[in-house]
Amino acid sequence: MELVVQKFGGTSVGSPEKIMNAARRTIEEKMNGNDVVVVVSAMGKTTDHLVSLAAEITQKPSKREMDMLLSTGEQVTISLLTMALQAQGYDAVSYTGWQAGIKTENVHSNARISGIDSEKIKNQLQAGKVVVVAGFQGLADGQEITTLGRGGSDTTAVALAASLKADKCDIYTDVTGVFTTDPRYVKSARKLDGISYDEMLELANLGAGVLHPRAVEFAKNYGVPLEVRSSSEKERGTLIEEETKMEQNLVVRGIAFEDQVSRITVCGLPSGLSALSTIFKTLASHGINVDIIIQSSTNSSLASLSFSVKTSDVEETVHVLETYQSELGFEKIESEGGLSKVSIVGSGMVSNPGVAAEMFDVLAQEGIEVKMVSTSEIKVSTVISHADMVKAVEALHDAFELSQQPAQVL
Amino acid sequence: MELVVQKFGGTSVGSPEKIMNAARRTIEEKMNGNDVVVVVSAMGKTTDHLVSLAAEITQKPSKREMDMLLSTGEQVTISLLTMALQAQGYDAVSYTGWQAGIKTENVHSNARISGIDSEKIKNQLQAGKVVVVAGFQGLADGQEITTLGRGGSDTTAVALAASLKADKCDIYTDVTGVFTTDPRYVKSARKLDGISYDEMLELANLGAGVLHPRAVEFAKNYGVPLEVRSSSEKERGTLIEEETKMEQNLVVRGIAFEDQVSRITVCGLPSGLSALSTIFKTLASHGINVDIIIQSSTNSSLASLSFSVKTSDVEETVHVLETYQSELGFEKIESEGGLSKVSIVGSGMVSNPGVAAEMFDVLAQEGIEVKMVSTSEIKVSTVISHADMVKAVEALHDAFELSQQPAQVL
């Protein structure tokens, strides 16, 4: 008998019919003789509906009251899913985040889980019940309802799996697994049988969107084996676990990409230790996320600095920097929109120094200009023109032979 | 400075616009220098929507999961109303039932409040905040979310007012107060300035619908002065308090009526002590509410028993009784539908023995046959044909001069 944590996202519980379908997934595990804890998100459009209600009241709702409002979404789902299980003759009980013992920091709208008191869940499992828990929410000091921010339900599921020492954590979603690249753009994209935590982290951060980075990081830290799989189809999904258990340490496992990228260039920046830190601290304090950063240091006293941001943040970025122009002493700011980021990810890269060069070679052969580059041990990211994005992804997918099933290494 | 508890029902918070209107009512009290605790119901159609979601899953949802589901309704309202107050610059905080310290019995769907730990609310009031509390819900042992059943939000408001020793409890609704009779049927119906708890209890029980009997009983027991008033219009409402403070001990204060009444007659019932108790225990155990009961004892050994039930309960009532026919030994059951109940209520009746006679006289003059009668110290109820209902109410309203403002008694 194993202990399985299942997580169903918003689209997988988007209607009473889909909730009954999710219940069937849970019942399959019970019929396999396993104990099951289920974590659910709010039903499909519920969160959007609640957000729009708040927007009719005020443009600046307090974070505490937004948490109070949004946390009702998962509470609706847990009750309906539990009813569905009971209607099929299975003993089940629903818990909100606070009832399930999910404790968080004293922060609203983006709290991190600080601990889980899982005694109650353990007792209910012992009594043979399916325990259905509201994802995305917890309780801070003073009995305050908090929410975990984006990807919160994934994080709840992984944290519960870690706390309960579950044998696995299955993330049910509207795709059948993690792909070598986005199959909506690249026909030959292939579903991966397995991927390492680190590779998934890079892919998740790079916009693959299937699983939140916080949840992957949590799973990695606590060694929780994850499987991303479809809530509507029966086929096996993609296992996410330590590299040592993986099929092969592939040089390139997948290709991630995102558009709506812009490049900001600060020209004529006086050299000095504090300018960089001032710029990025200021941007961070305005909630602007900077991605790739490149500084071209020259022999002269004036340097130029480039970085990429989301296109929707360009206007505010330029405005914030201009406010500090006299303090920072730069000459001018330039911005370029219409860009995309294309990244190759694979844990085998660390021992294959030629991978970046091969990527640049492929792009050059396609006549694609690389505007920015950033590398880590297991990825190479390039910023290119948005017009070239799909062509670049297809060429790289071909060149690194991602559509072919890798040979098993014995 | 007074402490005021305000309660807004579902129609008074049915949309973001109405919630902002409710917030203005709260702000008026704050501007009068008063402390305010606000109790709210779920928004208009929310409960119906949640019930229909559950119905798509199962026809027999467990009461625990229904409480889990329905309690989200008020949680949405408290957050939105608090946002509305904050947007107007007022410090406010929302609490669910469990956060507000509302403790109940260990019963789902119809729990009674067993106690209130109001320390947290008192502290927030002390800090100058408006406290917005979810009505209709509480917490039982084992951190179980419970709901209070029909009229639950009224009860929450009155219980909080009692616990906090509030100076008054204002029930905001979609009518301007309590009327001598239903103004939709009788044009000359007049809004009452005041009414006693006992009269209101009879009127509430008799279908006036404006305030739940449980809440009135609670208010009476703890001496909480209630005012029923309109959330959309500024005029004064109806005060509900002890008779001693009232304008006058009126013989008849109001006329209540309801249709969909049926009479069941059990013929040829052998006399004996246990038959009556068996019949009504059995019906109660099937959730059938019996209203007026009349037994005609004769000299023979066979008696006949009549009682009134809601027309929607007739079929099950007959079925249940027939199941026990051999045990009870009666001859046959007759039922008559298409009836209505018309009642006059007034605390002055207790010292005016001729009131019932006057009522029958008025009905006789109108050619209306009285099929059943039931009296208490402050009311006389009659069951008549539904076709005569409105005619009876109008004639009684005229005869007891209810459309005229009573003279002040010095």
Q: Identify the helix (H) or strand (E) that includes residue B134.
A: strand B130-134
What local confidence, expressed as pLDDT, does residue A206 receive? 62
Nearest to B82 among A65, A83, A143 (CB): A65
Closest CA relative to residue A152, chosen from A33, A32, A47: A47
As a whole number, mean pLDDT of residues A351-364 equals: 87
ipTM of predicted complex = 0.83
What local confidence, expressed as pLDDT, does residue A8 receive? 97
CB contacts of A84 in chain B (<8 Å) are 57-58
What's the pLDDT tens digit per position in B75-124?
999 999 999 999 999 999 999 999 999 999 999 999 999 999 999 999 99
Please check whether residue A112 is in contact with residue A118, taking contact to mean a CB–CB distance below 8 angstroms: no
As a whole number, mean pLDDT of residues A93-105 equals: 97
pLDDT at B72 over 60: yes
Hey, what amino acid is at B183? P
The residue in chain B having the minimum alpha-carbon distance to the alpha carbon of residue A23 is B57
The DSSP symbol for A353 reads T
> Can you count the helices (H) and strands (E) in chain A?
12, 18
As a whole number, mean pLDDT of residues B14-25 equals: 96
Please, what is the Cα angle at A398 between A394 and A399, to 5 degrees? 115
pLDDT at A16 over 90: yes
CB contacts of A19 in chain B (<8 Å) are 57
What's the pLDDT tens digit per position in A224-233?
999 999 998 8
What local confidence, expressed as pLDDT, does residue A317 receive? 93
CB contact set of A397 (below 8 Å; sequence gap of 6+): A180, A181, A186, A188, A189, A255, A403
Sign of CA dihedral A81, A84, A85, A90: positive
pLDDT at B290 over 80: yes
Coil vs helix vs strand at B60: coil
What's the pLDDT tens digit per position in B59-69?
999 999 999 99
Six-digit token string for B48: 């119906």
What's the pLDDT tens digit per position in B152-163?
999 999 999 999
Q: What is the nearest CA distance from B134 to chain A, expressed in angstroms? A: 11
Is B225 exposed, middle or buried (CB count within 10 Å of its CB: 0-12, 13-18, 19+)? middle
As a whole number, mean pLDDT of residues B119-139 equals: 97
Please check whether residue A48 is in contact with residue A10, taking contact to mean a CB–CB distance below 8 angstroms: no
What's the pLDDT tens digit per position in A115-159?
999 999 999 999 999 999 999 999 999 999 999 988 899 999 999
The residue in chain B having the minimum alpha-carbon distance to the alpha carbon of residue A83 is B61
Nearest to A69 among B65, B76, B145 (CB): B76
pLDDT at B295 over 80: no
pLDDT at A329 over 90: no
Coil vs helix vs strand at B325: helix
Q: What is the nearest CA distance from B169 to chain A, expressed in angstroms? A: 25
Nearest to B83 among A62, A80, A143 (CB): A62
Six-digit token string for A383: 């910023």
Strand A168-173 to A3-8 pairing? parallel
Please check whether residue A146 is in contact with residue A136, taking contact to mean a CB–CB distance below 8 angstroms: no
Subunit contact B80:A20, Cβ cutoff 8 A: no
The residue in chain A having the minimum alpha-carbon distance to the alpha carbon of residue B51 is A80
Top residue of A24, A26, A57, A145 to mutate, by most chain B CBs within 10 Å, is A57
Nearest to A79 among B68, B82, B86 (CB): B68
Subunit contact A83:B143, Cβ cutoff 8 A: no
Q: Which of A368-382, A386-400, B177-191 has the highest mean pLDDT?
A: A386-400
What local confidence, expressed as pLDDT, does residue A202 receive? 85
As a whole number, mean pLDDT of residues A21-29 equals: 96
The Cα–Cα gap between B256 and A1 comes to: 63
What local confidence, expressed as pLDDT, does residue B410 receive? 40
Residue-by-residue DSSP string for B205-229? IIII-SS-HHHHHHHHHHT--EEEE
Nearest to A57 among B65, B87, B94 (CB): B87
How many CB atoms are closer than 10 A to CB A316? 14
Q: What is the nearest CA distance from A320 to chain B, expressed in angstroms? A: 27
Coil vs helix vs strand at A191: strand
What local confidence, expressed as pLDDT, does residue A246 receive? 53
What local confidence, expressed as pLDDT, does residue B318 receive? 94
As a whole number, mean pLDDT of residues A195-222 equals: 83
Alpha helices in A302-378 (DSSP H): 314-323, 325-328, 355-365
The more confident residue out of B302 and B212 is B212
The residue in chain A having the minimum alpha-carbon distance to the alpha carbon of residue B55 is A16
Coil vs helix vs strand at B111: coil
What local confidence, expressed as pLDDT, does residue A409 receive? 44
Average pLDDT, chain B: 90
Subunit contact B75:A72, Cβ cutoff 8 A: yes
| pTM as predicted | 0.84
What local confidence, expressed as pLDDT, does residue B409 receive? 44
How many CB atoms are closer than 10 A to CB B66? 18
Six-digit token string for B220: 């009476």
Subunit contact A79:B86, Cβ cutoff 8 A: no
Subunit contact A80:B57, Cβ cutoff 8 A: yes
The residue in chain A having the minimum alpha-carbon distance to the alpha carbon of residue B92 is A65
What local confidence, expressed as pLDDT, does residue B298 receive? 60
The Cα–Cα gap between B336 and B263 comes to: 5
Long-range contact list for A327-331, CB < 8 A, 24+ apart?
A: A327/A278, A328/A266, A328/A269, A328/A275, A328/A278, A328/A279, A329/A269, A329/A270, A329/A275, A330/A266, A330/A267, A330/A268, A330/A269, A330/A270, A330/A275, A331/A267, A331/A268, A331/A269, A331/A302
Subunit contact A86:B99, Cβ cutoff 8 A: no
Nearest to B83 among A16, A54, A96 (CB): A54
The residue in chain A having the minimum alpha-carbon distance to the alpha carbon of residue B43 is A53
Hey, what amino acid is at A78? I
What's the pLDDT tens digit per position in B254-281?
999 999 999 999 988 877 667 777 888 8
What local confidence, expressed as pLDDT, does residue A208 receive? 58
Q: What is the nearest CA distance from A370 to chain B, expressed in angstroms? A: 48
As a whole number, mean pLDDT of residues A195-224 equals: 84
Top residue of A43, A79, A81, A119 to mutate, by most chain B CBs within 10 Å, is A79
Subunit contact B50:A76, Cβ cutoff 8 A: yes
What's the pLDDT tens digit per position in B21-40?
999 999 999 999 999 999 99
The Cα–Cα gap between B35 and A232 comes to: 54
User: What structural domains does chain A harbor?
Assistant: 3-174 (3.40.1160.10), 255-399 (3.30.2130.10)
CB contacts of B80 in chain A (<8 Å) are 53-54, 57, 65, 69
Hey, what amino acid is at B406? P
The Cα–Cα gap between B210 and B178 comes to: 7
Six-digit token string for B324: 């026990």
Q: Which residue has the tokens 């079925």?
A: B319
What local confidence, expressed as pLDDT, does residue A150 receive? 80
Q: How far is CA A295 from CA A116, A263, A286, A306, A394, in A?
A: 44, 13, 22, 6, 30
CB contacts of A61 in chain B (<8 Å) are 83, 86
CB contacts of B17 in chain A (<8 Å) are 56
Top residue of B57, B58, B81, B108 to mutate, by most chain A CBs within 10 Å, is B57
What share of chain B has pLDDT > 90, as a percent?
67
Subunit contact A60:B87, Cβ cutoff 8 A: yes
A:B CB pairs within 8 Å = 104
A3 HSE (CA, 13 A, CB side) = 19
Hey, what amino acid is at A381? S
- Weakest mean pLDDT among A33-47, B7-21, B52-66, B181-195: B181-195
The Cα–Cα gap between A383 and A361 comes to: 15
Sign of CA dihedral B26, B27, B30, B35: positive
CB contacts of B65 in chain A (<8 Å) are 79-80, 82-83, 86, 94
What's the pLDDT tens digit per position in B377-393?
888 999 999 999 999 99
Q: What is the nearest CA distance from A143 to chain B, expressed in angstroms? A: 7
Subunit contact B143:A99, Cβ cutoff 8 A: yes
What local confidence, expressed as pLDDT, does residue A205 receive? 64
Average pLDDT, chain A: 90
pLDDT at A410 over 50: no
Top residue of A68, A71, A86, A137 to mutate, by most chain B CBs within 10 Å, is A68
The Cα–Cα gap between B177 and B190 comes to: 10
Q: What is the nearest CA distance from B116 to chain A, expressed in angstroms? A: 16
CB contacts of A96 in chain B (<8 Å) are 68, 145
Q: Which residue has the tokens 């309906």?
A: A80
Q: What is the nearest CA distance from A45 to chain B, expressed in angstroms? A: 14
CB contacts of B61 in chain A (<8 Å) are 83, 86
Subunit contact B69:A84, Cβ cutoff 8 A: no
Q: What is the nearest CA distance from A65 to chain B, expressed in angstroms? A: 5
What local confidence, expressed as pLDDT, does residue A375 receive? 85
The DSSP symbol for A207 reads I
Subunit contact A65:B71, Cβ cutoff 8 A: no
Please check whether residue A243 is in contact with residue A347, taking contact to mean a CB–CB distance below 8 angstroms: yes
pLDDT at B407 over 60: no
What's the pLDDT tens digit per position in A41-81?
999 999 999 999 999 999 999 999 999 999 999 999 999 99
Subunit contact B65:A50, Cβ cutoff 8 A: no
* Residues forming beta bridges with residue B393, ordered by sequence position: none
As a whole number, mean pLDDT of residues B230-248 equals: 80
Phi and psi at B219, nearest 5°, equal -60, -40
